[in-house]
Amino acid sequence: MIEQQPSRTAFAAAALRAAHQVLEDGKMFSDPLALQILGLDVETVRREQDDPSRRSLRLFIAARMRFAETKLAEAIEQRGVSQLVVLGAGLDTFAYRSPLARKLSMFEVDFPATQAWKRRRLQETGIDVPSNLAYAPVNLETDDLVAQLKAAGFDATQRSYFLWLGVVPYLTREAIMVTLKAIGALQGGAEIVFDYPNPIDHTGLTEERRAARDVLRARVASVGEPLLSSFDTSDLHAELTARGLGAITDFGPREIIEVLTLPFVTPANPVVLENIPARGGHLLHAATL
């Protein structure tokens, strides 16, 4: 990202979360603060986001939120998770809206400029900051994540859940692996949800999907946030296991559509199952045993 400026992709992701509330009535996940934190109204979002070329990415972002929050609820109820760390929080609103938030000590981690921008947005839009939330300004490429979290009050002896959405593709492989190693080594145990892409393979893609992928890559590069990392699924699973993060659940493109998306779309606005690539964006949950 551009030095001393907030993340442009964080704003774009927030706009797509808001658009899901408007265009699909929040069927996959409900976020009553999505419009408020952006300072936008329904008609503005509808006018700016109701574009067929954006629907696939919007549904993916909605699906990953549902996946992540469902896994978090299970982790709290079944495995005693008591801390939440949102890595690359951007304009994420979980800590300010979810009933689950009351059960957790929460930490938002982000690049310092993006975090300062987010805190201004909260103040400007009148969203209250809960007393059980702390902020930890961190650059994952250069800073010691656990040290910064501990300075903010994080307890490494408690089981923790790391929410890491829309971030991994923008980091170097080295920073990703250092972060995963730190999480896997936490004394109290940890779980993590993140999304990642497979290396680009145009085989079997329709012209529309190929064009959408190329446009996305060009757009994020133009704002100083190029896509840097991708993983073959089997290789990534081996890397996770080597760092103590096993019990992996990994949804590829077809599972994301069949399990997370199809139950929530309407006959009037269907999802087409034809030509779904085997490789593409994934949603992954892993945990220390």
Domains of the chain with CATH codes: 64-287 (3.40.50.150)
Q: What is the mean pLDDT of the chain?
A: 89
Rounded average pLDDT over 202-215: 59
- Can you give the pLDDT at residue 215? 64
Q: Which residue has the higher pLDDT, 269 or 180?
A: 180
CA atoms within 13 A on the CB side of 57: 25
- Can you give the pLDDT at residue 269? 65
Residues 121, 55, 21, 104, CA torsion sign? negative
**What is the tens place of the pLDDT at every residue in 165-207?**
999 999 999 999 999 999 999 999 999 999 999 997 655 555 6
pLDDT beyond 90 at 270: no
- Distance, CA of 138 to CA of 82 (rounded, Å): 22
- Distance, CA of 239 to CA of 287 (rounded, Å): 13
Rounded average pLDDT over 72-95: 97
- Can you give the pLDDT at residue 241? 98
**What is the tens place of the pLDDT at every residue in 92-120?**
999 999 999 999 999 999 988 899 999 99
**What is the tens place of the pLDDT at every residue in 119-162?**
999 999 999 999 999 999 999 999 999 999 999 999 999 999 99
Rounded average pLDDT over 81-101: 97
pLDDT beyond 80 at 275: no
Rounded average pLDDT over 263-271: 67
Q: Which residue has the higher pLDDT, 69 or 259?
A: 69
